[in-house]
Structure 1
Amino acid sequence: MTETERRSLLCPNCHRLISRDEPLCPYCGTKRPGSWLKNNPFTRAAGNADWLISAIITVNVIMYVISLVISRGLPGHGYGLLSALSPDEYSLLILGSTGVVPIDRYDRLWTLLTANYLHGGIFHILFNMMALRQIAPLVAREYGPWRMFSIYTIGGVIGYLVSYWAGVGYTIGASAAICALIGAMLYYGKSRGGVYGQAVFREVGGWVVGLFLFGLIVPGINNWGHGGGIVGGVLIGLALGYSEKRRENLFHRFLAGFCILATIAALVLGLLSAFYTVNATTL
C-alpha cells in the first residue's frame, strides 16, 4: 500500500475517495471527515444502507425464532395462512407485543418499539421482510441510511401510538414501520415533483391502495397501525428532509444513533422479561 493510499479514505457521508487530512469533504462539505467520531467501524457499517437493512431483517428473524422457542402451545396470533408456524399470545406478550393491554395494564411503554420486531407467523414475517427489502433501499437512496432508520423507528412508534389511541388491545409486526417508509416516499414524490417524483408518488400510492384493500379483506390486520405509520412517515420525511434538499448531517446521525440505542434497550427489556417469566413459571 502506498503512502497516498494510507492517507485516503471514503467520506462517511458521500462515500467518495478523499484525503484523510481534509478539513472539509470537497464533494459534500462534511466537516472533519477523517475524525474517529465520523470514521470508525460502527459508523462505517451503520452508515451503509445494505448493512442496516440486513441488520433490521436479522433482528426480526431472531426475535421470531425466540418467540417460537418459548411458545407454550397456546393459540397463535395469526389468522388462516398468517397463523402458520405461529408463536402463541403468551410468548408475544412477554417479548413485547404492544397495545392497550400491555401499556395500560402492565406499564410497558417500551413495547411501542419491540412490537415492530415481533411477528405472528411465518407468512407474516415473510411478507413484511419482502416489503422491507423492496422499500427500504429506495428510502435510503433518497433520504440516506441514517434518516431511513430514523423514519423506520419513529414512524413505527407513531403507528403503534395511533393504534393504541384507537383502542387496539394487542398488536405486533413490522408493517407500521414499513408503512412509515412508504409515507416518507409519498412525501418525497409529492414534494420533488417532476417526472421522477410523480412516478414515485404513483408507484407508492399503489402500495397504499393495496395495503388498504388487504386490510379490508384479511381479518386481524391493524389498519390503525398502518395508517398511523403512513402519516408518521410523511411528517418525519417533511421534518428531516431528503437528500436533494438537505444532505445528511450530524443531527441525522445522532438521531439515528438514539433510535438504535432505544431499540436495543427495548429489545433487551423484552428478552429479560421473557427470560424472567419463563424461568419463574418453570420453578
Structure 2
Amino acid sequence: MTPKSTRSSLLCPNCRRLISSDEPLCPYCGIRKPGSGFKNNAMVRGMSDPDLLLKVIIGINVVMYAVSLLFSGHGIGVTANPLSFLSPSNNSMLLLGASGTLPIDRFGRWWSLVSANWLHGSILHILFNMLAVRNLAPFVVREFGSYRMVIIFTLGGVGSYFVSYLAGVSFTIGASGAVCALVGAALYFGKSRGGEYGNAVYRQVSGWVVSMAIFGFMIPGINNWAHGGGIAAGAGLAWAFGYLERKRESQKDKTVALVCVLGTLGVLLWAVGSTTVLWMNYR
C-alpha cells in the first residue's frame, strides 16, 4: 500500500500562486523558501490587504487620539473654536510622544519621531488627516505596493519630523508629515512615469502641494517644515523603491515593512504604557 502524501499546499507569499509548502523556490516568481514561517507571518500577510491596512492605520490613529483625551482629564480643550475643539492637553501629548526640540533635546525622546505621527491636537486635526490618508494611501498602494506604502508612510513620517527638529520646531504632532510623504511619492510617480496618465497625476498632486503651502502659511500653528520634509522624504523613498510597473515588491520590501510596523507598535505601546504608569502613580 502506498503511504498517503503529507505534502500540503499554500499560496506563495510573494506572487499568491498555489504551490507546495515544501518547495525550496516558488516555481512562478523564484522566491526562496516560500513556506517559511516568517514569510507566511499573519502580520506580513495582513499588509498585503489594502483595505485591512487602511483600516488599521486609521484605527490606530483614532485609538491614540482617544487615549490622549483620556490622559488629559479635565485639561481637554472644549472651545467654540473648531480648530481646537476636543484638543488633548499638551502634557498628555508630551507624555504620549509629541516631537520637537523640547521632547528630544530636554528629555532625549528620539522615539517621538515615530510616535508624533500618530497623535492629533483636535477632532478636526485627526479628521482632516485621516481623510487625506483615505484618499492618498490607495493610490500609493496601487502604484508602489502595500508594503512600500507602509515604508513610505512610516519612514517618511520620521523624516518629516527630523527635518522639523533640525528647523527648531519645539513641539509638534500629527500624521500630516506621513501624509505628505505619500504626496511626495505620488509626485515622484507622476513625474517619473510620464505620459498622459503620469503627467495628469503630477499636475494634480502639484496642485495639492501648492494648496498645502498656501494653507500652511495662512493658518497659524501648521508645521510647514514637517510638510516639506515629508514630501522630500516620500519622493526620496519612492525613487529608492521604484514603482510596480518597473519593479515587483521584493521580500526585502516586506521585511522592512514588517520592521516598520513592529517598531511603530513597540514605540506606541511603550508610550501608552509609561504614561499609564505615571497617570496611576500621580492620580
| Structure-2-length-normalised TM-score | 0.91
Shift of 1:260: 1.0
CA deviation map 1:94-125 (0-9, x unaligned) = 11100010000111110000000000111110
What does residue 221 of structure 2 align with?
220
Same amino acid, percent of matched pairs = 53
CA 1:224–1:27: 2 relative to 1, 3 Å? same
Q: Which moved more, 1:110-119 or 1:66-75?
A: 66-75
Q: Name the CA distance, whole Å, in 1 between partners of 2:30 and 2:53.
A: 24
Task: Give, as a single letter, the amino acid of the residue that structure 2 aligns with 1:231.
Answer: A
Q: Name the CA distance, whole Å, in 1 between partners of 2:223 and 2:119.
A: 14
What does residue 240 of structure 2 align with?
239
Task: Give, as a single letter, the amino acid of the residue that structure 2 aligns with 1:237.
Answer: A
**Regions of 4+ moved over 6 Å:** none
What does residue 176 of structure 1 align with?
177
Shift of 1:12: 2.2
Shift of 1:9: 3.9
Task: Give, as a single letter, the amino acid of the residue that structure 1 aligns with 2:196.
Answer: V
Alignment of 1:242-253 (within 5 A): 242-253=243-254
CA 1:77–1:212: 2 relative to 1, 3 Å? farther
Task: Give, as a single letter, the amino acid of the residue that structure 2 aligns with 1:270.
Answer: A
Task: Give, as a single letter, the amino acid of the residue that structure 2 aligns with 1:144.
Answer: G
CA 1:142–1:17: 2 relative to 1, 3 Å? farther
Shift of 1:20: 4.8
Query: Does structure 1 residue 264 correspond to structure 2 residue 265?
Result: yes
The question of whether the paired residues in 2 share the 8 Å contact of 1:82 and 1:121 is answered with yes
What does residue 95 of structure 1 align with?
96
Q: Name the CA distance, whole Å, in 1 between partners of 2:181 and 2:80.
A: 24
What does residue 191 of structure 2 align with?
190
What does residue 3 of structure 2 align with?
none
Task: Give, as a single letter, the amino acid of the residue that structure 1 aligns with 2:238.
Answer: G
Task: Give, as a single letter, the amino acid of the residue that structure 1 aligns with 2:221.
Answer: G
What does residue 203 of structure 1 align with?
204
Shift of 1:42: 2.5
What does residue 54 of structure 1 align with?
55
Query: Does structure 1 residue 151 correspond to structure 2 residue 152?
Result: yes
The question of whether the paired residues in 2 share the 8 Å contact of 1:77 and 1:87 is answered with no
Q: Name the CA distance, whole Å, in 2 between partners of 1:77 and 1:135.
A: 30
What does residue 163 of structure 2 align with?
162
Shift of 1:31: 3.5
The question of whether the paired residues in 2 share the 8 Å contact of 1:75 and 1:89 is answered with no
What does residue 11 of structure 2 align with?
10
The question of whether the paired residues in 2 share the 8 Å contact of 1:184 and 1:236 is answered with yes
The question of whether the paired residues in 2 share the 8 Å contact of 1:159 and 1:225 is answered with yes
Q: Which moved more, 1:89-98 or 1:79-88?
A: 79-88
What does residue 136 of structure 1 align with?
137
The question of whether the paired residues in 2 share the 8 Å contact of 1:95 and 1:274 is answered with yes
Q: CA RMSD in A?
A: 2.2
Shift of 1:82: 2.0
CA 1:84–1:27: 2 relative to 1, 3 Å? farther
